[in-house]
Amino acid sequence: MEQEENKMKAEIIQPDIGKLSHELTYHKYLLNNDKIRSFLQKLSIPEYLAMHIIKESELTDDIYAGRTYLKDIADKMQRTVRQTSKMVKALQERGFVSWSHDGDGSEGTYVTITESGKKMLEEEEAALKKYYGKVITSYGRENFIQLLQLMKQLETVISTEFEEMEADAIEEYGTDE
């Protein structure tokens, strides 16, 4: 009996899941479209986020003396170290960051912001503050905070479900190698 009830619930929910999945994908697309890129003058969105992570780490992390390790950036951005390395190299070539390593490099490589990078990041942040200041005012500060909290909760659920699906696939098809 319980199995039949679950099957009926799943059949009722399936059409909604399709519509909701589409809506989430559509709105994620709209939020990620090129409009925000027009406010950033010198950085792509991933570069801006990486620079912000480095800046915040330098301001708040006493342990590493202003160093932000490449792996930490990759983890926070949910990117591979290889992708992050490529992005940091581009930032280094433009003079925005300095990239170095501990010892022989086996202990990790780290990034610090240069003076040029700090100046550029301040300019980019000012442009975003001007834009999002208007958005937050129009939408309402409390609504915006609630939306961000809900988005964080959703991201946690999405990440957990994705990890479980990966684990199930590995279990079903063998190792991930």
In percent, how much of the chain has pLDDT > 90? Answer: 39
Q: Hey, what are 135's tokens?
A: 């958005």
Instruction: For the domain made up of 42-114, give the CATH fold.
Output: Arc Repressor Mutant, subunit A (1.10.10)
130, 122 contact by CB (below 8 A): no
Q: Which long-range contacts (CB under 8 A, 24 or more apart) does 158-166 make?
A: none
> d(Cα 107, Cα 86) in Å, to the nearest integer?
19
Please provide the DSSP assignment of 134-158 as one string. HHHHHH-HHHHHHHHHHHHHHHHHH
Q: How confident is the model at residue 123 (pLDDT cuts 50, 70, 90)?
A: very high
* C-alpha distance across the termini of the chain, in Å: 42
Q: How confident is the model at residue 45 (pLDDT cuts 50, 70, 90)?
A: confident
Q: What is the mean pLDDT of the chain?
A: 83
User: Average pLDDT in the 16-27 region?
Assistant: 78
Whole-model pTM? Answer: 0.74
In percent, how much of the chain has pLDDT > 70? Answer: 81
